[in-house]
Each structure stands twice: as structure tokens, then as C-alpha cells.
Amino acid sequence: MMIHVVKSGETVDSIAAGYGVSPQRLASDNALPDHFALAVGQTLVVRFPREVHAVARGETLSSIAADYGTTVRQLWRNNWELGGREELPEGQTLVISYFDEKLGTGVFNGYAYPFIAEELLAEQLPYLSTMAPFTYGITAEGGLLPLDDEAMLEAARKRGTRPVMHLSTLTEAGQFDTGRAAFILTDYEAQGRLAAEVLQTVLRKDFAGLDVDFEYLPGQLAEAYAAFLGRMRQLLAAQGRFLWAALAPKTSTRQRGLLYEGHDYAAVAAAADGVLLMTYEWGYTFNPLGYK
């Protein structure tokens, strides 16, 4: 794989010719628009196919994957233009493998609202390790707000992506609620009822794990929050599931504000199997560089 920086006067055809690759493949790998428009300074990923296959009549992704000893998921990942779909026009050229060498392994998680376009979800899922429908909130009584995510879960499993349950303090009105967080974190019996309902949902819908996202917590709840995470982790581990926690990015343990004070990084890290840093906070609110 190589990175090419577009220069003045260059086109997809000229760049592809310079590297000895197909213009269509170059455009596909970089999700270029139909008219192949380029901007000076734009970066393009240039990948070199090791093995390709021309689709014959009657062939399917499953049959082609079986013939080459690979998976349908890998074919989706090697051929961005498929968009996670199964339809194959006769004569289409598929990349079976690239010359790229893997640098290592990684876990890639994505959040998605239930109203996401089916096409967009199908397109992205093959590239994600996990997908978390956003979100299971908490009622005023401490119960679990339902989420219509069945179609999303089916789409994820079809494409080899593990679904993760996302638990937050989002209310029926669509706002994070500090009061509901405080109620759950300080009332041990209510917390137990919620934990049991969460675990039941994880098992019933076969989530791979749970991602807890309690935002806007005052500092006095930091210890209780870590304890709640530890309690959930113990319940989930007994069922072979993991626990993640979402954290707002901090530059100091003394950083003030509801987004930060209730998240004790050390305590949360000790209580969870992994953490997700919500770096989007740096993109539109409190980042030091002032990006919008």
C-alpha cells in the first residue's frame, strides 16, 4: 500500500497508470465520486491486488469465498464498492487479496442510531469489530428504556460484526440526566434491579458485551460510578461477556466540569475490561485547539 498526494493536473487515470493499477479500483478504494473529481493536495490510498476474480453467471459471494478459502466478510472488506451487499453483477472484478501486510490487530467500534440508513450501515459494518446501537437509557424509576435495534443486530451479525449493548443515562427526552445517574449509583437496590435487567437484555439479544456511558457526573459520584462498573463487570464476566466504559478526554486529574470530575481514570480502568475515549468532545466543545 502507498499514499499518493494529488498534484496539479493529475487525474485518476494518470495516477492509476503511474502505479499500474486500475482507475476503477483506485477510485473505489478511495470512495471517490462518480466523476472522479480530485483536489490538489488530496491523499489517495494506492493498493495493489494480489489476486482478482471475474464474477461468472450464477456465482455468489459465498461460493467465491469458498472457492478461494476466504470469507464473505473479507470479500466485502476488499471490495468497498460492494457496500456490504450480496448482489454481484456478472463480469464484475473482485479483489480476493492484496499485497498489503497487516501491521497488527485492532478493535474498531462504531455507534449507530436505530434510524441510520440501511445502506450506510451495511457499507460500514464489514470494517467494524463491534457495533453499539445508541442507546439504552434509564427511566425515572430506574428501569431500562427499550430500544428498537433488532434490524441493526441482524445486519451486524450477517456481516460478522459483534453487537455491543450501550447503556447511558439518556432520558425519554433525549438528554443525559445527572439525576438518574445519581439515583442508580447511590441506591443499591435500584442499581441491582437495573443490573439484572441489563444482564437479561445482554443475554436475550446475545450482545458480546456492555458499554457503559454515564456522562455529566459530579466528582462526588466518581467512586460510586467505579463501583457500579465493577459490579456490572462481575455479572457479565460470569456469562462470558465484557464490560467497557466510555470516558470523556481529560488532560489532568484536576480537570473541572461535569464531563470529567465523575470519571476517575484509574478507578474506571481497574473496574472495566476496556475504555473508549470519547474524542468527539475535542471536535466541537472543549478542545484546546479550537477546532469546530
pLDDT digits (tens, 9 = 90+) for 238-266: 999 999 999 988 888 888 887 888 899 99
Chain segment 153-173, per-residue pLDDT in tens: 999 999 999 999 999 999 999
User: Are the C-beta atoms of 83 and 122 separated by less than 8 Å?
Assistant: yes
CB 132 within 8 A of CB 166: yes
- The per-residue pLDDT for 253 is 83
The answer on pLDDT for 290 being more than 50 is no
Global confidence as pTM: 0.86
Distance (Å, whole) CA 292 – CA 282: 9
Residue 37's pLDDT is 87
